[in-house]
Amino acid sequence: MGTNRLKIVMLMFQPSIVARGIEKNLVSMGNKVESLVGNFAEIEEKMEKTDIFIFNLPTKIADDTIELNELVRICNFMQEKGKSMIFVGEKELWNDLGQVYTGVSKFVWAYRPVDMGELEKAIETALLNKPRPANGNRILIVDDDPDYAKMVRGWIKDYYKVDIVTAGMQAISFLLKVPREQGVNLILLDYEMPVVDGPQVLQMLRQEPATADIPVVFLTGVQTREGVSRVMELKPDGYILKSTTREDLLAYLDTKLKKI
């Protein structure tokens, strides 16, 4: 952790010798550490001044409905606030917990028995990849391939409100029914679709006063210079290659929506 000492909050459902040992080692490295045991009501007030949370998980949490529900609530809160958190637990627990709550995969893990060198690396990773706070922007994905659309929604749903339609005319109908105060902020539109393709949908959107000003970004598999030029001649608000990565897509959307 170098010379940058951290403010760390340890979370646990019950007092733990393992957690106490971790806390002692972190303090010896110069970090400021405090613990919340059982009652997590103070998490919100500690958010602003805490660099990272470390959650020491009970081995049987996947079988305890009350503890599991509290864990889900805390995970959602960390995502909402854009805070880094590390789970401490056995490798088997990662598998068991993942079967009942997929959200565990969004956070960094340090496996028991805890190696402090590995924990330091986990902390650095978590701080570098902290979740972005969710916001109120709403994105409509229009793609005739439901598997691809669901994949993209999975990538971005923790940061935006996301809707999916699988046909061009469904998009028009959906957008005309959405109340203005709940309106879509950006449309990810498949360029190539059967019956009514992306260019036709874009033209119809521009002709409707209610949808004319919604930014439209084409999703396209076309990667040649000539193909991209043909796409951009239609004057969309941008384009994204379908081969793009999750990280690049999130960065693109973040930049694009800040300009709206």
Answer whether residue 2 shows pLDDT above 50. no
Q: What is the DSSP letter of 194?
A: S
**pLDDT tens-digit map of 50-59:** 999 999 999 8
The whole-number average pLDDT for the span 246-257 is: 89
- The pLDDT value recorded for residue 56 is 93
Answer whether residue 127 shows pLDDT above 50. yes
Residue 198 CB-density burial (10 A; 0-12 exposed, 13-18 middle, 19+ buried): buried
- The pLDDT value recorded for residue 3 is 40
Answer whether residue 1 shows pLDDT above 60. no
The whole-number average pLDDT for the span 115-137 is: 79
Same fold, 7-128 and 138-258: yes
Answer whether residue 137 shows pLDDT above 70. yes
Assigned CATH topology for domain 138-258: Rossmann fold (3.40.50)
**pLDDT tens-digit map of 62-118:** 888 899 889 988 988 888 788 889 999 998 888 888 788 877 777 889 998 888 888
In words, the CATH class of domain 7-128 is alpha beta
- The pLDDT value recorded for residue 139 is 94
Whole-number Å distance between alpha carbons of 48 and 68: 25
Q: Could you give the angle at which helices 17-28 and 116-128 cross, rounded to 10 degrees?
A: 80
**pLDDT tens-digit map of 179-188:** 766 789 999 9
Higher pLDDT, 32 or 222: 32
Answer whether residue 167 shows pLDDT above 80. yes
Burial 110-125 (b: 16+ CB within 10 A, else e): bbbebeeeebbebbee
Longest dimension (CA), the chain: 66
The whole-number average pLDDT for the span 152-159 is: 88
Residue 141 — pLDDT band, cuts 50, 70, 90? very high
Q: Where are the domains of the chain?
A: 7-128, 138-258
